[in-house]
Amino acid sequence: MGNINIFEMMANRYDTTERIQIAKVASDAIREHLADTHDKKAIDFGCGTGLVGINLLNDFSSMLFVDPSPNMINQIKQKIADLNIQNADTLCFDFEKEDRKDIQADYIFMAQVLLHINDIELVLARLYDILNPGGHLLIVDFNKNEEVSSDLVHNGFDQEKLIDLMTKLGYRAFQSKTFYTGSKLFMNQDASLFILDSQKR
């Protein structure tokens, strides 16, 4: 996954007031797509310091926090210990570099993660493989934003084009909508966030 070095450096000061607030907005949007999930396994993919997943812990039987940055994983490990969380585990792993067949989940969610991934199709295919049949992948990310120009991240996504790509990979039953707009939200530009819910065949 891209930008790991940047996240390594900022891990211990990542949890700003703004990021905590956006994580709450994202987790509330994800929760609207959950039904009867208390016996389900979830993965917070590209979890960072676990801001989104922590908010959703009580909605699932277990949660695996996955991130390629060791420092980010150390932050969530500390939270799990400090809060005495019993239904969570961590995995430091980069799905863009390697495949993983030994983990399965009913729900995978990724909040503001896709924009950091270079090979989107590869990672979405690998996440499809670890979803249980009927499982859901929920993506929260920025809508395409022509005002953003960066060598480090994608400048957001066109929801319909993303759905077309995911359809080719086998995902189905899509629901997507824009749910939040904020000022200076994305690379110091006004931007909007969408949520896309998809299901494995």
Q: Domain limits of the chain?
A: 4-200
**Average pLDDT for residues 96-124, to the nearest whole number?**
96
CB 64 within 8 A of CB 105: yes
pLDDT digits (tens, 9 = 90+) for 57-107: 999 999 999 999 999 999 999 999 999 999 999 999 999 999 998 999 999
CB 170 within 8 A of CB 201: yes
Indicate the average pLDDT of the chain. Answer: 94
- Residues in CB range of 64: below 8 A, 6 or more apart: 41, 42, 43, 44, 88, 89, 90, 91, 103, 105
Determine what percent of the chain is predicted with pLDDT higher than 70.
Answer: 97
Helix (H, G, I), strand (E, B) or coil at 47: coil
Please report the DSSP string for 100-159 in residue order: --S--EEEEEEES-GGG-S-HHHHHHHHHHHEEEEEEEEEEEEBP-TT---SSS---B-H
pLDDT band at 15 (very low <50, low <70, confident <90, very high): confident
The pTM assigned to this predicted structure is: 0.94
CATH class entry, domain 4-200: alpha beta
Q: How far apart are CA 83 and CA 123, in angstroms?
A: 31
Determine what percent of the chain is predicted with pLDDT higher than 90.
Answer: 87
pLDDT over 70 at 20, yes or no? yes
